[in-house]
Amino acid sequence: MKELYFNNGVLMYYGNPAGYLADGKVVLDSIFEKEEIISYLSEREKLAVEVRSGVYDRLVTGGGIEEAGKESTERKVRIYQLKQGCPIMMRFVSLAEREKRGFGEPQADEYDLVYEKEVETFNLDAVWEQFNREPPADFTGHALSISDVVGFSDEGESRFFYVEPMGFAEVSFEGEKQP
């Protein structure tokens, strides 16, 4: 694949810095998360691939591999879905119905974190579209549904939204721990 090559440890794709080599793996920016790139790197080059957001931006701004490898403090989206052992009467119901059935507001210990990724903006409609129409390859949950919780965090501040039949309702999500 001649459009994909390494230049001083930086993975170049059609002349754009798409990622970098670190500890025997390629850290690839999420905008370059394409099946043909990942399969080429993993099968042909025998490299593990880790996908992260913000790598391209940090490489382009001139920070090099050292700057690109730093953990970002950018915004993150998290998707929480009810654990396997939760009562069936808790699943796929509105927040009002959940409270009517005696379950109260959602608690973090009732949920599993099934997805986490950096995002550029907080947009609940975009999250809904993405996790229903074309979920990312590394998403392990089911399609986003009523009773799921979407969390947005930005430098330690978090907000949580319960998926309702029509839209979202902000909830406190007691007991949530930052990973």
**Averaged pLDDT of the chain:** 86
pLDDT tens, residue by residue, 159-172: 999 999 999 999 99
Please, what's the b/e burial string for 114-142 (b: 16 or more CB within 10 A of its CB; e: otherwise)? bbebbbeebeeeebbebbeeebeeebebe
In terms of average pLDDT, the best of 73-77, 103-107, 155-159, 171-175 is 103-107
Q: Which amino acid is at 12?
A: M
Confidence check: pLDDT of 58 > 90: no
Query: Locate tokens 């549904």: which residue?
Result: 145
The pairs formed by 27-36 with CB atoms below 8 angstroms and a separation of 24 or more are 27/52, 27/55, 27/68, 27/69, 28/52, 28/55, 29/53, 29/54, 29/55, 29/56, 29/57, 29/59, 30/55, 30/117, 30/118, 31/56, 32/56, 33/136, 33/137, 36/1
Cβ atoms of 101 and 89 closer than 8 Å: yes
Please enumerate in sequence order all residues whose Cβ is within 8 A of that of 142, keeping only pairs 6 or more positions apart, or say none.
Answer: 81
Share of the chain above pLDDT 70, in %: 89
Spell out the domain ranges in the chain. 4-68, 76-171
User: pTM of the prediction?
Assistant: 0.61
The whole-number pLDDT of residue 162 equals 97
Confidence check: pLDDT of 146 > 50: yes
Strand 167-171 and strand 157-164: the pairing is antiparallel
Neighbours of 66 (CB within 10 A): 9
Reduced to 3 states (helix: H, G, I; strand: E, B; else coil), residue 53 is coil
The whole-number pLDDT of residue 2 equals 76
Least confident window among 61-65, 101-105, 138-142: 61-65
Phi, psi of 8 (to 5 degrees): 55, 45
pLDDT tens, residue by residue, 2-48: 789 998 889 999 989 998 998 889 988 888 988 899 999 999 889 99
Reduced to 3 states (helix: H, G, I; strand: E, B; else coil), residue 110 is helix
Output the CA torsion sign for 123, 125, 128, 133: negative
